[in-house]
Structure 1
Amino acid sequence: MAACLASRPAATAAAATVLYHGGALPRSPRLQRLVCHELLDGGGGGGDNYILHFAVAVMRSLG
């Protein structure tokens, strides 16, 4: 997860990840490079990010 955040700004990576998994981000290779899947699965650190999971669930329910 640290490598993901080091390669791009944290706010951009989190927003792009929530929008992508929530279905609001178009499936474009350019935009998919911003998505950091490790933010949702804990990056191998043993814990999921429940706040981002909640944001994704809200996005999916709205759309």
Structure 2
Amino acid sequence: MPKLKTRRAAAKRFQATGSGKIARRKANRNHLLQKKSAARKRRLGNLALVDATNEENVRLMLPYL
């Protein structure tokens, strides 16, 4: 069976946690930051888990994750 290709765009955006779940970055942390509070920016810096409804699609994009 041939090797499967990884979608490189997805590989740059997702990573696996120790328990095998998929982590992602949060949106809204790139620009227009002066109007956001420091607490909000701090929360946006943390990783979030990919929702269960999307996890299957992400795993198809990353066969060797």
Q: TM-score, normalised by structure 2?
A: 0.28
Higher relative contact order (CA 8 A, sep 6+): 2
Q: TM-score, normalised by structure 1?
A: 0.28
**Bigger fraction of residues in strand:** 2
